[in-house]
A = this chain, B = another copy of it.
Amino acid sequence: DRTYRIAVIPGDGIGTEVMPEGVRALHAAADVYGFELDLIELDWASAEHWKAHGTMMPEDWAEQLEAVDAIFFGAVGWPDVVPDHVSLWGSILQFRRVFDQYVNLRPVKLLKGVRSPLAGREPGEVDFYVVRENTEGEYSSVGGRMFEGTERETVIQETIMTRTGIDRVLRYAFDLAERRPAKKVTSATKSNGIAITMPYWDERVAAMSESYPDIDVDQFHIDILAANFVLHPDWFDVVVASNLFGDILSDLGPACVGTIGIAPSANINPEGTHPSLFEPVHGSAPDIAGQGIANPIGQIWSAALMLDHLGEAEAAAAIEEAFEAVVAAGDTRIVTPDLGGAGTTAGLGRAIADAI
């Protein structure tokens, strides 16, 4: 059966503007490749819902979402209405944990027609993945505050990593590297300064690499690794990182190749026990929201990752080819301001749908 039940959650800000274009691309691909879409539009996980109900989501959110094949997500966060840590811990960070989407997969790719801020890099030279642990580690709300309101005030927060949690994301990264020509995994660490969790991370990387003798493994401390994303982006193939380090690297990588506004992300539960979630890397962008100029490619590229995950590899490839071709053509009436054009969200979305 090729009918996919998909929860569509636009969220806040430009999330609501780029989502229709993501959906347009999905419909175009469905028409051409002959599958069916059963889209369930949900208006929660938004500041609107917070305003109306004082919560980010209805009580039965998990049940509603467990029933779908995948979640197509926009962006959440509107700090004027609800503080970011509340809106995010009340939505996307919940999804990742409750649905055990322990892999966050983020491609970094230098595309033709996108101007990279790095001098002298050519399309094809940079093409790697950041595989980010997505459920534990530095993202924690365990800890507390002592001597509150006094000069001695102290806050403590725990980073918690487990063998299960580390090993499964490492395995995903090594398996991914096996399917790539370079067969190389780079581990992000900081075991020289972060004295308990990161040496443990290194141990697990060393243990895992024993099971993959044909994979070339190296590691860098996060400080010099970030520097090397700028200096030598061509060195990388599969970069595996903890939750925080993966967060940093998966914004930095796209920034280096000029795709910060268009990078996609897949929050994957590899076992398929729970639905996976697909969203652009960018946030709700209050600064440009409401103008209709947000680049919809992050959302559209995420649609491609979602279709690939659902088994529609051809349709996924067609979407990627479509936006790559439109970007490479570089018609300034069509591409959005971030790509040097004067186009609109809808205009660019339509051009891509037509190309599919």
Query: Are A247 and B157 closer than 8 Å at their CB atoms?
Result: no
| A173-200 residues at the B interface, CB under 8 angstroms | 190-197, 199-200
- The residues of B that contact A145 with a CB separation of less than 8 Å are 196, 200
| A195-217 residues at the B interface, CB under 8 angstroms | 195-197, 199-200
A318 CB to nearest chain B CB (Å): 29
Contact segment of A253-261, A306-314, A341-349: A253-261
Taking a contact as CB atoms closer than 8 A, the residue among B83, B156, B251 that contacts A159 in the complex is B156
Query: Are B226 and A226 closer than 8 Å at their CB atoms?
Result: yes
Interface string of A159-174 (1 = CB under 8 A from B): 1111110000000000
Given A85-B191, A143-B158, A248:B226 Cβ within 8 A = yes
Taking a contact as CB atoms closer than 8 A, the residue among B88, B194, B199, B252 that contacts A226 in the complex is B252
Interface string of A287-304 (1 = CB under 8 A from B): 000000000000000000
Query: Are B155 and A195 closer than 8 Å at their CB atoms?
Result: no
Q: Is A31 an interface residue (CB 8 A)?
A: no
- The residues of B that contact A114 with a CB separation of less than 8 Å are none
Query: Are B85 and A199 closer than 8 Å at their CB atoms?
Result: yes
- The residues of B that contact A89 with a CB separation of less than 8 Å are 195
Measured CA separation A247–B250 after assembly (Å): 18
Q: How many residues of A contact B (CB 8 A)?
A: 64
| A75-119 residues at the B interface, CB under 8 angstroms | 77, 83-85, 88-89, 93, 116-119
This chain: copies in complex: 2
Q: Is A227 an interface residue (CB 8 A)?
A: yes
Taking a contact as CB atoms closer than 8 A, the residue among B140, B154, B243, B244 that contacts A195 in the complex is B140
Q: Is A331 an interface residue (CB 8 A)?
A: no
- The residues of B that contact A116 with a CB separation of less than 8 Å are 119
Query: Are A160 and B154 closer than 8 Å at their CB atoms?
Result: yes
- The residues of B that contact A226 with a CB separation of less than 8 Å are 226, 248, 251-252, 255
The 9 closest A-B pairs by CB, nearest first: A227-B255, A223-B251, A153-B163, A119-B119, A141-B195, A157-B196, A84-B192, A143-B196, A157-B197
